[in-house]
Amino acid sequence: MKSGIISKMLLLLLLLTSIAGKSLAQKDKLEGLWFNAEKSAKIEIYKATDGKFWGKIIWLKEPNENGKPKVDKNNPKEAKRNVPILDLVILKHFVKDGDNLYNEGDIYDPKNGKTYSCKITHKGDKLDVRGYVGISILGRTTTWERVQ
């Protein structure tokens, strides 16, 4: 009789552990792969160990330049100008603010080597990514699409 109760308790414990693990593993809707506006790059957005959302370039339509992998040649820090564009982190420190807004982040543009304040608005399979200097009104919005 005791072994039957123990078996049932173990089964229940395994079931509860499985359910808890699945709920903890659920991803935020921002996470995943996104095409930039030009569809020249795929950016993977993920939740980092600091609990904030980050993003890195994981694919380039044209990964090479002059027969070599593209590098961050416009970086203002000379020591970083040989860092490959692939796997380059371009989104940092985003905090979820409500259902669809992510604030307090920065976006780095390897095309010009500049970093901007940024906010992201989730709109289903699209993101409005707004980079700005100082206040949001002084910026530009591009639309990214989820990779299907």
For residues 31 and 47, the answer to whether their CB atoms sit within 8 Å is yes
The DSSP letter of residue 80 is: G
CATH code, 28-146: 2.40.128.520
Task: Measure Cα distances from 18 to 8, 79, 136 in Å.
Answer: 15, 47, 43
Reading the chain (148 residues) residue by residue, the pLDDT tens digits are: 565 565 555 444 444 444 444 445 689 999 999 999 999 999 999 999 999 999 999 999 999 999 999 999 999 999 999 999 999 999 999 999 999 999 999 999 999 999 999 999 999 999 999 999 988 998 999 999 999 9
Query: What are the structural domain ranges in the chain?
Result: 28-146
Express each pLDDT in 121-148 by its tens digit.
999 999 999 999 988 998 999 999 999 9
- Cα distance from N-terminal residue to C-terminal residue, the chain: 53
